[in-house]
Amino acid sequence: GAICPKKGKGAGLVLPYCDTAAMNEHLKEISLAVDPGAHAVLILDQAGWHTTPKLTVPANITLLFLPSKAPELNPVENIWQTVCSLRSGRWPARLGCRPR
């Protein structure tokens, strides 16, 4: 998903895979949520589906990449840390949560 905290807007899709096709669909969805005449800057980690040259980035979106191996800079990673600490032991390890 993507959010604009200032405007309280967001866009997101629930898809079965994280791959180039899914990312292209997500970029289209985000582009539609951007106000006319505005421009979105997406902050992304360097997952393969974010960095592939096969992406079609709409004209009203710029991709800004976080440094590699810096999960502390990725807000999504921080959310997962919080969720996992609250749910530790109740979610399967395949979701990335480990018992405390």
3-state DSSP assignment of residue 40:
strand
CA 47 from chain centre, in angstroms, equals 10
The C-alpha torsion from 11 through 17 and 19 to 24, rounded to 10°, is -30
Parallel, antiparallel or unpaired: strands 40-44 and 61-65: parallel
pLDDT tens figures, 39-78: 999 999 888 999 999 999 999 999 999 998 777 777 666 6
User: Nearest Cα to 4, choosing from 38, 45, 28?
Assistant: 38
Average of per-residue pLDDT values in the chain: 83
Whole-prediction pTM value? 0.72
For residue 94, the model assigns a pLDDT of 52
Question: Domain ranges in the chain?
Answer: 2-67, 70-100
For residue 63, the model assigns a pLDDT of 97
Q: How far apart are CA 16 and CA 14, in angstroms?
A: 7
